[in-house]
Amino acid sequence: MNTRLIRIGHSPDPDDAFMFYALAKERLQTGRFRFQHILEAIDTLNGWAIEGKLEVTALSVHAYTYVADRYILLPHGASIGRNYGPIVVAKRRFDPADLRGKRIAIPGKFTTAFLVLRLYLDEFQAVEVPFDQVFDAIDSDKADAALVIHEGQLTFETHGLTKLVDLGGWWHDRTGLPLPLGANAIRKDLGEPCCLEVSGYLRASIDYGLAHRQEALQYAMQFGRGLDARLADRFVGMYVNEDTRAWNEECRRGLEHLLNLAWEQGVIARRIHPEFLPD
């Protein structure tokens, strides 16, 4: 049997590590496929997706709007915020309305966090830095506030910072819908039969992690960047759960609404109708 290599790009974060644990540690039989895991920061993966570099990739929902012609969304693997999500923090508490015109450190212009911030706030100065340097941007006075993704949502107080707004909470209050932040996508040129086979293995990896939580969590801990076991467990629980197993109808409506609103407000250049690989 000829082996086919599939490169999977995902971020070196506890939630992605948990999701891909079974594939990375060969807990599954994968038939004719061999999977190579490429770990990069989400903004790098977003840029690579625009180039079409990898067969399968994690990407921001915002980035998907630039690659919808080339990639199709997998029906699983989403990171969904339910009344929580990216946050904006600063050294001192002030009215979020006073963020207008301020310098805000952002973890990448293709992140969904940046898209939602633009829906929330119509005028601010974006200071683009790597996601793990947004706190430093405040400390060095390069920014007045920071847009925080990943585990920083749980650790910002240890940096002496205060939360001004939770964009996932704001989105829920405005729409009553979950906030889709990240997704997994596969390149269409692989052909549907191949895409469906690969999709099955990726779903099996998610199912394995959820069924063997402590085993997968122990592996994910090494990507926690200082998170203790309690916080790592909490973070994984926020973003790897039943919403990750399948894009249900409510999550898909959240995605449609987010992309429609982004188009209507001029945040993205064209209306995007999300396309999902069949289950």
**59 pLDDT higher than 90:** yes
Model pLDDT for residues 231-251, shown as the tens digit of each residue? 889 999 999 999 999 999 999
Mean pLDDT for all residues in the chain: 95
Write out the CATH class of domain 4-80+180-264.
Answer: alpha beta
- CATH number of the domain at 87-175, please? 3.40.190.10
Beta bridge partner(s), residue 57:
9, 185
As to burial, measured by CB atoms within 10 angstroms (0-12 exposed, 13-18 middle, 19+ buried), residue 184 is buried
Statement: residue 279 has pLDDT above 90: no
Q: Is the distance from CB of 74 to CB of 245 less than 8 angstroms?
A: no
Q: What is the pTM of this model?
A: 0.95
Q: Tell whether the model's pLDDT for residue 96 goes beyond 90.
A: no
Domain positions in the chain are: 4-80+180-264, 87-175
SS (H, E, C) 81-99: ECCCCCEEEECCCCCHHHH
Closest CA to 89 of 162, 28, 29: 162
Output 95 or 272, whichever has higher pLDDT.
272
Asked if 149 contacts 119 with a C-beta cutoff of 8 angstroms, the reply is no
* Residue range 199-228, pLDDT digits in tens: 999 999 999 999 999 999 999 988 877 788
Q: Give yes or no for residue 1 having a pLDDT over 70.
A: no
pLDDT tens for each residue of 110-168: 999 999 999 999 899 999 999 889 999 999 999 999 999 988 788 899 899 999 999 99
Catalytic residue set:
150
Residue 97: per-residue pLDDT = 86
